Amino acid sequence: MIIYEFKVKGKDRQYRAIDDAIRTSQFIQNKCLRYWMDNKEQKVDKYALNKYCAVLAAEFPFADELNSMARQSAAERAWGGISRFYDNCKKKVKGSSGYPKFKKYCRSVEYKTSGWKLSNTRKAITFSDKKGIGTLKLKGTYDLNYYNIKEIKRVRLVRRADGYYAQFAIDINLKVETQPTNQVVGIDLGLKYFIADNKGNVELSPQFYRKAERQLNRANRKKSKKYDQARKKAKKPQSTNYHKARIRYARKHLKVSRQRKEYCKRVAYSVIQSNDLVAYEDLNVKGLVRNRHLAKSISDVGWSTFRSWLEYFGHKYGKVTVAVPPHNTSQNCSNCDKKVKKSLSTRTHVCPHCGYVEDRDVNAAINILKRGLSTVGHTGTYAWGDLPSWAVGANLLSNGESTNQESLRL
């Protein structure tokens, strides 16, 4: 499965129709979730939610205007949250089990194999449901003529700060044959260095958010000054100037997000192309960001994004990617395996037992490579090469992002 994204061009009434379709999809998703909450004793499953979509269409005229498969796709989103909750309960996940929540801000609507049609040139798409979206022009460098229409499994319309986009989920074989490099690498993810490998090579963290933080704060202040609290109490919409400032602020955040994504993509591609096996830490990023002193730096560096792209390129080019437990990889000496306790501020590993001296992150990368080599080929390991995290399920991400959307730069 691969995702191609195009920016869509249309008229204002078409954009309003897309917004209406997104609101309807959110309504159906929340209604399905409420139906599951109210009928738990009846063991509501995925198919029951799909049938409930027909009930909603008969009851609400605006829901009937949306394509039937788009309604089913919204029900599948609700079931995705419910099934994850069930899985977490079965696995006895510590902390919150992720009880499904109602969707408050939705930015996309997803169609399956009906409700849309591509033009003969594949440069425009027409939506045929009763929402009135009509024909939209597709702006992008990808060529959909290489693929059969039957290979396009889903089409999603996404609203972002800088416009509207169409995403095509194409079911194709991602495997690409490459020549072996006879190289293996262990990489340590950090804050000072984005990655450091066992050979001593380091990549500095770009800190995109830190560099843009001053501009972001200024745009946020301008947005806040235009917010009228009296309008909110009177339940009136905010002024046009407020919404303009809000969009400018959102676009700056979107730029930082795209910079981080492209950077992670380039580094992951380079690592995969240069090695046959890549070992890295299986970090619990969600838990690490709870540290209020390091949360901003951890979020800025983009560890989860880098890992997703590493697994994706590893699957595509037939390389082995192994996630190993991170416990004591920075504390243990890579030369004698003795534990040498050190604080986070200590950046140089000095072993009192064998006298080995090395950079803290490089020492950790060597330990990560050792663990990765010791687990390859055994059952019950953290190997991700056969089924990477992005390949689970055919649905696109709920926020409209795609972890396997390729760039022409690669």
pLDDT digits (tens, 9 = 90+) for 314-358: 988 888 888 888 888 888 888 888 888 888 888 888 888 888 888
Instruction: Please report whether residue 238 resides in a domain.
Output: no
Task: Phi first, then psi: give them for residue 283, nearest 5 degrees.
Answer: -80, 140
Question: Quick one: 60 and 160 in the same domain?
Answer: yes
Q: Please, what sign has the CA dihedral across residues 266, 308, 197, 182?
A: negative
Question: Quick one: 72 and 125 in the same domain?
Answer: yes
Task: Provide mean pLDDT across the span 366-385.
Answer: 66
Instruction: Please report whether residue 221 resides in a domain.
Output: no
Indicate whether 388 pLDDT > 80.
no
pLDDT digits (tens, 9 = 90+) for 21-39: 999 999 999 999 999 999 8
Question: Quick one: 116 and 191 in the same domain?
Answer: no
Instruction: Please report whether residue 177 resides in a domain.
Output: no
Instruction: Please report whether residue 233 resides in a domain.
Output: no
CATH number of the domain enclosing 288: 3.30.420
pLDDT digits (tens, 9 = 90+) for 197-251: 888 888 888 999 999 999 999 999 999 999 999 998 988 999 999 999 999 999 9
The whole-angstrom separation of Cα 12 and Cα 235 is 25
Question: Quick one: 200 and 346 in the same domain?
Answer: yes
Question: Quick one: 35 and 146 in the same domain?
Answer: yes
User: Which pair of tokens denotes residue 70?
Assistant: 């788009």
Domain, as residue range, for 291: 184-206+264-391
Instruction: Please report whether residue 175 resides in a domain.
Output: no
pLDDT digits (tens, 9 = 90+) for 87-102: 888 888 777 778 899 9
The count of domains in the chain is: 2
Instruction: Please report whether residue 121 resides in a domain.
Output: yes
In 3D, which of 410, 234, 401 has the Cα closest to residue 302?
A: 401
Q: Please give the single-letter amino acid code of residue 191.
A: L
Mean pLDDT of all residues belonging to the chain: 86
Q: Which residues is 137 bridged to in the sheet?
A: 9, 124
pLDDT digits (tens, 9 = 90+) for 165-193: 999 999 888 788 888 888 999 998 988 88
Q: Per-residue DSSP letters for 107-173?
A: -EEEE-SSSEEE-TTSSEEEE-STT--EEEEEESS--GGGS-GGGEEEEEEEEETTEEEEEEEE---
Question: Quick one: 117 and 195 in the same domain?
Answer: no
Question: Quick one: 152 and 10 in the same domain?
Answer: yes
Tell the burial category of 230 from Cβ atoms under 10 Å away from its Cβ (0-12, 13-18, 19+).
exposed
The whole-angstrom separation of Cα 202 and Cα 131 is 52
Indicate whether 126 pLDDT > 60.
yes
In 3D, which of 388, 319, 407 has the Cα closest to residue 3?
A: 407
Question: Quick one: 192 and 115 in the same domain?
Answer: no
The SS3 of residue 295 is helix
Structure confidence at residue 402 as a pLDDT band (50, 70, 90)? low
Question: Quick one: 139 and 197 in the same domain?
Answer: no
The SS3 of residue 405 is strand
Which contacts of 149-153 are long-range, i.e. CB under 8 A and separated by 24 or more positions? 149/118, 152/113, 153/1, 153/112, 153/113, 153/394
Instruction: Please report whether residue 406 resides in a domain.
Output: no
The DSSP output letter for 339 is B
Question: Quick one: 320 and 193 in the same domain?
Answer: yes
Instruction: Please report whether residue 273 resides in a domain.
Output: yes
The whole-angstrom separation of Cα 150 and Cα 64 is 26
The whole-angstrom separation of Cα 44 and Cα 360 is 52
Question: Quick one: 50 and 161 in the same domain?
Answer: yes
Question: Quick one: 194 and 341 in the same domain?
Answer: yes
